[in-house]
Amino acid sequence: MSFGQLPYDVAHLFGGAMLLLSFMLLYQRRVTAVINGLAIQGAILACAAGWQGWVQGAPQLYLTALIALAAKAVLIPLALRVLIRRLAMDRTVDTAMGIGPSLIAGVALVALAILVVLPITAGVRAIAREDLALALSVVLLGMLMMITRRNAILQVVGLMSMENGLILAAVGVAGMPLVVELSTAALVMVVLVVAGVFVFQIRERFDSVDVSLLDPHRGEGR
């Protein structure tokens, strides 16, 4: 299986689309648009998992796809929207680093991911190599998003996007047991609940979800 064959091309297409959506998450200026981007990324992840399930003949990946679709594309974005509505918060994105520089940094990270993954995985099946490079890029971009945004909700979005990258890497490798994906999915749900509670608490205390307001209060209660 190599370039020019259908399974490879489609898998590559889905991975590329996820990477593109990661960049979209980076340059969006409105919070609702960012959440939409996350939902679309989750849906594409579900497609990628389903496709891999069909190509590898691994029925458990359909279950992964189903979970991804339900959780990533529907439930989590819905929950985030409810959160925003309940908090009636400011809809614009407050960035710590300008949009332009963060996009440049993102491009550099993708180049780094490709430089790292391609030489290491020489000799592995081509589909796994490309997929790994794309997945690592998505993970790095998610992390970049976490550190370049001040808003707690957007940091949660960055975390979810990072997790999407991890799942993408996991489904691309043949023979990954289902339990890994199930436990990761469960973990993400727990993280979302904790993050939601956390955001509500910040909101109640400080009337804002800007995490930099927390800094002067560290070490309290000791």
Residues at the contact surface with other proteins, assessed by CB under 8 A: 96, 109, 112-113, 115-116, 119-120, 140, 143-144, 146-147, 150, 211-212, 214-215, 218
Asked whether the beta carbons of 96 and 155 are under 8 A apart, the reply is no
Calpha distance 14→211 (Å, rounded): 34
Q: Give the three-class secondary structure for 58.
A: coil
Q: How far is the CB of 49 from other proteins (least distance, A)?
A: 25
Identity of the residue, 4 or 119, whose beta carbon is nearer to other proteins in the bound complex: 119
Minimum gap (Å) between residue 56 Cβ and other proteins: 27
Residue 200 burial by CB count (10 A; 0-12/13-18/19+): exposed, middle or buried?
Answer: middle
Burial class (CB in 10 A: 0-12, 13-18, 19+), 45: buried
CB proximity list for 73: less than 8 A, separation 6 or greater: 39, 40, 42, 43, 45, 46
Nearest distance, CB of residue 59 and other proteins, angstroms: 31
Closer to other proteins by CB, 13 or 211: give it. 211
Backbone torsion region of residue 12, taken as left when φ is above 0, otherwise alpha when ψ lies between -120 and 50, otherwise beta: alpha
Kindly state the smallest distance separating residue 73's Cβ from other proteins, in Å. Answer: 26
Give CA torsion, residues 148, 153, 156, 157, to 10 deg. -80
Give CA–CA dist 121/127, Å, rounded.
11
Is 147 or 180 the residue whose CB approaches other proteins more closely? 147
**Residue number with CB closer to other proteins (92 or 212):** 212
Q: E strands within 107-181? A: none
Least Cβ distance, residue 3 to other proteins (angstroms): 22
Complex with other proteins: residue 78 or 116, whichever CB lies closer:
116
Dig out the tokens for 38 from the structure. Answer: 């996350």
Q: How far is the CB of 112 from other proteins (least distance, A)?
A: 6
Q: Which is nearer to other proteins, 17 or 195 (CB)?
A: 195
